Amino acid sequence: MADPIFKRLCLIGIGLIGSSIALRARRDGLAESIVVYTRRKETLDRARELDLGDEYTDRIGEAVDGADCVVLCIPVGACAAVAERMAPHLAAGAIVTDVGSVKQSVINQIKPHLPEGVHLVPGHPVAGTEYSGPDAGFSTLFDERWCLLTPEAGTDIQAIETLTKFWQGLGSTVDTMDANHHDRVLAVTSHIPHLIAYNIVGTASDLEEISESEVIKFSASGFRDFTRIAASDPVMWRDVFLHNKEAVLEMLGRFSEDLSALQRAVRWGDGDLLFEHFTKTRDIRRGIIEAGQESDVPNFGRDQIEE
């Protein structure tokens, strides 16, 4: 086991991401001690039952007190309020980071509250499942997944390096990029896919002459893939859309334009256009499999799982 990277790691929020960080950090000794903070008593009790930390508290000042790293594992929309409440208690030299899917808004929300000498290094582990809460975590969630750090220019290099080591310890490959660029990339690889998945599942459940039971019965024809994403945490995703509005609206505009072109091809029977489009999209999947970001087993291997 390597030397601990942090003496006192404070997790603010203990859902899927927070509990997965806790489990991996404990497994591999990445922190000398872990403090778990969460607002709801039931969640805190559950975290204790699952043995996710060394200390548990619902008082944020107590939680961050003396911590050399504070990780906000909460919906993006809650960052400003939490930052404001914890700020007076932060230790000098502490690293404050987060795991949100939107980065510029997180910087805007947290930065104004932080005292001098505290290092803000926003982060986003590109990993997750459709489940949420402290029971959903597992220690290998971040293995072979990217973690993106989006520190502003002028951020303490040592703080960035320490956090990079921590995420590598959690299993990730770390990359650093500009927060705005992050938000545009993720709008297309994550936010728009979620919005259209939520949307098609809604459309399908609202049809007059087709029953919900028919949609469910015949879902293996493609639809069920979308329902996984559309089962993701509603609060987290509401906040993502509210806090990455500009990039989401722009990418949605492009998506709709492109869809209109396909729709027109269907209406006018332009088989060549459809064939050409459907052919080029195959290469992207090949690239994702080759990059180790996806399994090449048919149907994601779902039919091979023993339940």
Nearer to its own copies, 157 or 249 (CB): 249
CB of 44 to its own copies, least distance (A): 23
CB of 65 to its own copies, least distance (A): 32
Nearer to its own copies, 116 or 303 (CB): 303
Nearer to its own copies, 117 or 234 (CB): 234
Nearer to its own copies, 44 or 150 (CB): 150
CB of 136 to its own copies, least distance (A): 7
Nearer to its own copies, 157 or 210 (CB): 210
CB of 12 to its own copies, least distance (A): 21
| HEC-encoded secondary structure of the chain | CCCCCEEEEEEECCCHHHHHHHHHHHHHCCEEEEEEECCCHHHHHHHHHCCCCCEEECCHHHHHCCCCEEEECCCHHHHHHHHHHHHHHCCCCCEEEECCCCCHHHHHHHHHHCCCCCEECCEEECCCCCCCCHHHCCCCCCCCCEEEECCCCCCCHHHHHHHHHHHHHCCCEEEECCHHHHHHHHHHHHHHHHHHHHHHHHHHHCCCCCCHHHHHHCHHHCHHHHHHHCCCCHHHHHHHHHHCHHHHHHHHHHHHHHHHHHHHHHHCCCHHHHHHHHHHHHHHHHHHHHCCCCCCCHHHHHHHCCC
Nearer to its own copies, 49 or 296 (CB): 296
CB of 247 to its own copies, least distance (A): 10
CB of 164 to its own copies, least distance (A): 17
